[in-house]
Homo-oligomer: A and B are copies of this chain.
Amino acid sequence: MSDLSLAQAQTILAAALEKATALQLSPLAVAVLDGRGALKAFASQDGTSLKRGEIALGKANGALALGTGSRSLFRRAKDQPFFIAAATAATGGSLVPVPGGVLIRDKDGKVMGVVGISGDTSDNDEACAVAGIAAAGLTSDPGQD
């Protein structure tokens, strides 16, 4: 895989927060992880609740763990909640199956990392992740309904 650089991760982070400001969203936590699942960049806006960051990380971890944007996990959670519960336990307990965990793909479609955002509605969280990834010239994979 192509390595996600810190410069790219910071571009994604800044653009996601800019989008949130433009949309006048509630305070967000934004996590950008590389393809190994290691945190590259993170920001939590003023006013976020105590564990909001953990929810953002849970969206990112879940998407990366199963190789699909967390919107697909949301659909799966409604169809097969037992699978999501099992996968959560099997993968270490941090997998939040709602939209807002968006894979970052390179021009060949390879997974370079993931963005997880939480704080507003799941749809708005996801929109900020997509905007951030676009600003870095990379491809978003939010998963499918």
Binding site for B on A (CB under 8 A): 1, 3, 5-6, 9-10, 35-46, 48-55, 57-58, 62, 64-68, 77-78, 80-98, 111
Contact = CB atoms under 8 A, between A and B. Distances in A.
Taken together, the copies of this chain in the complex come to 4
Nearest to A111: B49
Contacts of A6: 43-46
By secondary structure, the A interface counts as mixed
Contact of A50 (B40, B45, B67, B80): B67
A144 to B, nearest CB: 16
A98 to B, nearest CB: 6
B97 A86 contact: yes
Contact of A65 (B51, B80, B84): B51
